[in-house]
Amino acid sequence: MKKYLWLFLVNLWISTFTFGGGYIVIPMIRKFYVEQHHYFDEEELLYLSTIAHSSPGAIAINIVALTGLHVAGVIGLIISCIAAILPPFFIIFAIYTIYDLLIATPMIVMLLQGMQYGVVIIMLDFVIDLWKSLSKKGDVVLLVLVIVTLFLSVYMQLHILWILTLYILFIIFDVLRKQRRL
């Protein structure tokens, strides 16, 4: 029962105070699940976040569901998802009811712009941690893919669907190459 309460409260807290989606939630999950409670290690978090990113739906809900399942089974999954959905629901409902008043307030506009910078900083922290993790493993292919993705999306302004298509072709080629080697 104590574990379920902890899952509910920690996911409620993460969902309430993180803005920017799944990439922002992952460092918070690392803090609570990996560093403080040791429910799993960095490698397992990377594995869970990979599954969350490749699954349909919101990344934040996917990662919360997977971590809840990992820690406390199906009941943990349900509790985690409910806790993660409640804050956005109430925040969106509140904003919806007073939207016209908020959008006309310059201080609110500046606050929202400031939050965008915070999201960028947290995402950068996640990318640096991911880079360090990949560097330790010595996986040159993944390191190159990170650099290529950054170059294609930021400098070439290539749409993410084209980048994903290129990666799918790369994976198919790599699998075929490895099969011929066997």
Residue 56 within any structural domain of the chain: yes
Q: Name which residue leads in pLDDT, 166 or 19.
A: 166
Residue 114 falls inside a structural domain = no
- Does 137 fall in a domain? no
User: Would you say residue 119 lies in a domain?
Assistant: no
Phi/psi class of residue 159: alpha, beta or left (left: φ > 0; alpha: ψ in -120 to 50)?
beta
Half-sphere exposure for 44 (CA within 13 Å, toward CB): 14
Q: Report the domain count for the chain.
A: 1
**Structural domain includes residue 59:** yes
Task: Please tell me whether residue 158 adopts helix, strand or coil conformation.
Answer: coil
Q: Is residue 103 part of a domain?
A: yes
Query: What is residue 70's predicted lDDT score, i.e. its pLDDT?
Result: 93
| Residue 149 maps to a domain | no
Range of the domain at 19: 2-108
Query: Which residue blocks in 40-159 are alpha helix, DSSP H?
Result: 42-54, 59-103, 106-137, 140-150
Q: 């969106």: which residue's tokens?
A: 92
* 128 assigned to some structural domain: no
Least confident of 59-63, 69-73, 111-115: 111-115
Predicted TM-score of the model (pTM): 0.60
Question: Residue with structure tokens 């290539």?
Answer: 158
- Look-up: residue for tokens 């506009």? 109
**pLDDT of 182 over the 60 cut:** no
